[in-house]
Amino acid sequence: MEAEEVLDLQDVLRRLAFDAVCKVSLGYDPCCLDLSKPVPPLVKAFDTASEISAMRGMAPMIVVWKLKRALNIGSEKKLKEAIDLVHGCVLEIIRNKKKALEEAKAKSAAARGGEDLLSRLLSAGHDGDVVRDMVISFIMAGRDTTSSAMTWLFWLLSKHENAEKMLVKEVESMLGNGRNGLDFETLKEMNFVKACICESMRLYPPVAWDSKHALDDDVLPDGTFVGKGDRVTYFPYGMGRMEALWGKDWFEFEPDRWFQEPGAENGLLKPVSPFKFPVFQAGPRVCLGKEMAFIQMKYVVASILKKFEIRPVNREQPVFVPLLTGHMAGGLNVLVKRRELK
């Protein structure tokens, strides 16, 4: 990319995250990043299904969508069609994968399947709808979350040039240390990049709110009674903006707050309880992809910023839309310019 170019960074990051999560879970690359190809029907169906499901969660009257579902009309008809398409595409991929695994086994009894989740599930003897549903939930969980976090981070860094300079400095100093590029060990040590990602997710959590229904009567640790069937919601977006949890400067983008000794070079990160910062949930149902998400986000953010300057075209505060996954209304149009090397 030689000249300055405008692109919707949110869209590019979403395409990248979808390709990455499909590669990890199915061992299949839908090539969404390749703009010369049409968007695969599987991707469109995932979008439709998540949008309509999110609307269900926000509907003031559950009875309306239940009635539409019973009559198979309107949005519920569209949802059913989208789910059928996702199921069909994923089952086709599973069939092909099984065939490939059997062929590899026939050639050599010692042959191992691929490294993707699907190969591992099939090799471990799982099958049928269970495998289909496991890989679909993995894709749903991993697709728009990382792209949402990174979109808001790029926006915040454009407003906090000092933080961006420090982030680029960390990446350059790590790479200048005779390291083997952005490998796993190097990425693990990028504490300032991680602090920026956490700080961005504190203000704009990809999962802004989440609910559970009680299977039985229960009592919360603070003594609040929860009846069978009650819906309990936790709200990371609100918690990330509470003065009682983050102090008087909660509204500031301040990566330093994640360090044990703010301002120290190559400092250590502070352990922060997931019950204070529940962007990945907390307790037994904590996000299974958390570590993978951090590695992926560090890699993408470091790779982009070491080469390019990203400047939003519009400097007005974007609107946060808290659907199933929070995103930026209208996308993030940015100018991309090659970074001057020092």
What residue type is assigned to position 282 of the chain? Answer: A
Measured CA to CA, the distance from residue 336 to residue 113 in angstroms comes to: 40
Q: Is residue 323 within the footprint of ligand HEM (CB under 6 A)?
A: no
Please report how close the Cβ of residue 27 comes to ligand HEM at its closest, in angstroms: 13
Q: Which residue has the tokens 């790590």?
A: 174
Phi and psi dihedrals of 60, rounded to 5? Answer: -65, -30
Q: Does residue 292 belong to the site contacting ligand HEM (CB under 6 A)?
A: yes
Interface pick for ligand HEM out of 279, 305, 310, 324 (rule CB under 6 A): 279
- Residue number, 5 or 133, with CB nearest to ligand HEM: 133
Is 281 a binding residue for ligand HEM by CB under 6 A? The answer is: yes
Residues 6+ apart with CB under 8 A from 33: 12, 15, 16, 19
- Closest CB to ligand HEM among 128 and 283? 283
Question: Is 289 a residue that touches ligand HEM (CB under 6 A)?
Answer: yes
Query: Quick one: 265 or 291, whose CB is closer to ligand HEM?
Result: 291
Residue 285 binds ligand HEM, judged by CB under 6 A: yes
- List Cα–Cα distances, 157 to 104, 121, 197, 304, 307, in angstroms: 47, 40, 10, 13, 15
Least distance CB 288 / ligand HEM (angstroms)? 4
CB-nearer residue toward ligand HEM: 57 or 74? 57
Closest C-alpha among 200, 189, 192 to residue 166? 192
- 82 vs 279, beta carbon nearer ligand HEM: 279
CA 131/CA 226 separation, integer angstroms: 33
Residues 120-149 that bind ligand HEM (CB under 6 A): 137-138, 141-142, 145-146, 149
Helix or strand (DSSP H, E) at 226: strand 225-226
Residue 234 interacts with ligand HEM (CB under 6 A)?
no
Query: Is 287 marked within a binding site?
Result: yes
Q: In terms of DSSP bridges, do strands 333-338 and 320-322 run parallel, antiparallel, or are they unpaired?
A: unpaired
Return phi, psi of residue 258, to 5°: -90, 0
Dig out the tokens for 219 from the structure.
Answer: 């009592």
CB-nearest residue to ligand HEM: 289
Q: Which of 293, 301, 305, 328 contacts ligand HEM by CB under 6 A?
A: 293
Residue 245 interacts with ligand HEM (CB under 6 A): yes or no: no
Using CB under 6 A, which of 9, 13, 21, 195 touches ligand HEM? Answer: 21
According to the binding rule CB under 6 A, does residue 155 interact with ligand HEM? no
Given the DSSP bridges, would you call strands 308-312 and 333-338 parallel, antiparallel or unpaired? antiparallel
How many whole angstroms separate alpha carbon 231 and alpha carbon 93?
36
326 touches ligand HEM by CB under 6 A: no
For the segment 172-231, give every residue that binds ligand HEM (CB under 6 A): 206-207, 210
Q: Cβ of residue 209: shortest distance to ligand HEM, in angstroms?
A: 10
Taking the least distance from each CB to ligand HEM, the nearer of 78 and 120 is 120
**Mind giving me the DSSP string for 108-169?**
-TT----SSHHHHHHHTT--HHHHHHHHHHHHHHHHHHHHHHHHHHHHHHHH-HHHHHHHHH
| In the complex, minimum distance from the CB of residue 108 to ligand HEM, in angstroms, rounded to a whole number | 30
Binding site for ligand HEM (CB under 6 A): 21, 24, 137-138, 141-142, 145-146, 149, 206-207, 210, 279-281, 285, 287-289, 292-293
